[in-house]
Amino acid sequence: MSAAGPPAPPEAAPLAVVLLSGGLDSTTVAAIAKAQGFRLLALTIDYNQRHRIELDAAARVAERVGVERHVVLPLDLRAFGGSALTADIAVPKANHGEPVQPGIPVTYVPARNTVFLSVALAWAEAAGARDLFIGVNALDFSGYPDCRPAFIHAFEAMANVATREGGFTVHTPLIAMTKADIVREAVTLGVDLSQTWSCYDPTPDGRPCGACDSCRLRAKGFAEAGVKDPAL
Amino acid sequence: MSAAGPPAPPEAAPLAVVLLSGGLDSTTVAAIAKAQGFRLLALTIDYNQRHRIELDAAARVAERVGVERHVVLPLDLRAFGGSALTADIAVPKANHGEPVQPGIPVTYVPARNTVFLSVALAWAEAAGARDLFIGVNALDFSGYPDCRPAFIHAFEAMANVATREGGFTVHTPLIAMTKADIVREAVTLGVDLSQTWSCYDPTPDGRPCGACDSCRLRAKGFAEAGVKDPAL
């Protein structure tokens, strides 16, 4: 894909692979990586997710942020199911403002971030990049095990014995931020949040449901940051 | 897929995900897992490899060994290249019996086993399996970093923080075997090696080249075991 948006960093800038779903978090991470001087290889996984509409958002965001190349890789996790995002299991909705459920919710997709980071690692090693960026967050999050610092550290350790030369770093700039912090950071960096997509369970006419975990966390972030969500 | 071949273990037997390329090693591993009493979920990755002919072998082997289900998952690593198996780079051939090259050869596919094991982990967690089997071998091998015990240990540690409950074991029954040991083990278990495929660089009419690393290691194994290769 062509590099639209802000002027591209010089050729000599290091390459990084950024996992880009097209949501608030990964879009902000892409902008952070760009601001840190990396040239970006953006990787979006088409895992046959319920909210495949996010793939369109990822394409728009990749163009706005400006990346060297954007790959949308089909990798059908629906073949295995086991999640409300990849099987015929209802996405839980908020009820009277109460938390949706305790524990790890059914929207958890088994080993999704492991798979995503592994593919990012494959691309990085092939392209000579040593930096991976992922928008995991362990504060205002859904409790997924593969968003926690312990997972990221273990993945990085594994990556460095899995490959020819090692030397990989998994960057998680959002990991200790609240959703409000993330919204503020995005605004500071001039990210066009109107192009992002977060909802797990779009309405038939392609709008956010407003009641799933992902919609609720997003709304909470914008509310606490005192910013109007431009995507609504 | 239906369970053909030997009688299936009883329903209560534990499930395992076995990575099955259709080669000598992974086929023997599937037979070992079966002999240990596991019901098998066989996973083959169609990574757009040069030797896509191995996908046919994997299907035949899955049927002969007898598995609960065989998934052939498209995951196009050619999108990233970086290997003789996924880009227009020639597969090195033996010359006068000399080793093809020192170091890690160009047939190494960046992070391939990391990606494969990650997808296996995703299936295992979704299916309630806790055991993964992979036919890596660190003795008569091509020097790939993701075939070494250190990688397997690091992957297992990562898997156990990446998932809901952890408890995963990555079984590598071949890791300390020579190719001759593997051939002997396959013969002992009654594996039909005529159905397996190892060559990286098939001839235009679909026969093994006989000169790539994989053909040479296979030939060495059969020769040292004193067994005629039934696939030739």
Does B144 touch chain A if contact means CB atoms closer than 8 Å?
A: no
pLDDT along chain B (232 residues), means of 10: 55 93 98 98 96 94 96 97 95 68 86 98 98 93 92 98 97 96 97 96 94 94 97 93
> What is the pLDDT, as a whole number, of residue B101?
61
Does B48 touch chain A if contact means CB atoms closer than 8 Å?
A: no
> What is the pLDDT, as a whole number, of residue B103?
83
Task: Give the best residue of B44, B107, B114 to mutate against chain A (max A CB count within 10 A).
Answer: B114
CB under 8 Å to A85, separation ≥6 — which residues? A49, A50, A51, A91, A107, A109, A200
> What is the pLDDT, as a whole number, of residue B7?
61
DSSP letter at B98 equals: B
Whole-angstrom Cα distance, residue B168 to residue B175?
18
Q: Which residues of B touch A104 (CB under 8 A)?
A: 164
Q: Residue A95's pLDDT band (boundaries 50, 70, 90)?
A: low
- A136-145, A162-171, B124-133, range with the lowest pLDDT: A136-145
Whole-angstrom Cα distance, residue B141 to residue B149?
13
Residue recorded with tokens 């037997």: B13
* Paired tokens of A93: 């909705």
> What is the pLDDT, as a whole number, of residue B3?
47
Our measurement of the distance from residue A119's CA atom to the centroid of its chain's CA atoms, rounded to an integer in Å, reads 14
More confident residue, A91 or A142: A91
Surface-to-core class of residue B139, CB atoms within 10 Å of its CB (0-12 exposed, 13-18 middle, 19+ buried): middle
| Alpha carbon of A205: minimum distance to chain B alpha carbons (Å) | 30
| Alpha carbon of B188: minimum distance to chain A alpha carbons (Å) | 32
Does B150 touch chain A if contact means CB atoms closer than 8 Å?
A: yes
**Mean pLDDT on A70-98:** 89
Does A119 touch chain B if contact means CB atoms closer than 8 Å?
A: yes
ipTM of the complex: 0.93
Residue B232 has a CB neighbour count (10 Å cut-off) of: 12
The answer to whether B111 contacts A125, with C-beta atoms less than 8 Å apart, is yes
Helical axes A112-127 vs B112-127, angle rounded to 10°: 170
Question: Could you tell me which chain A residue has the CA closest to the CA of B103?
Answer: A164
Q: Which residues of B touch A109 (CB under 8 A)?
A: 122
Does A158 touch chain B if contact means CB atoms closer than 8 Å?
A: yes
Question: Could you tell me which chain B residue has the CA closest to the CA of A128?
Answer: B82
Domains of chain A: 15-225 (3.40.50.620)
Mean pLDDT for all residues in chain A: 92
Does B149 touch chain A if contact means CB atoms closer than 8 Å?
A: no
- Res. A140: pLDDT tops 50: yes
Question: Could you tell me which chain A residue has the CA closest to the CA of B146?
Answer: A162
pTM: 0.93
> What is the pLDDT, as a whole number, of residue A116?
98
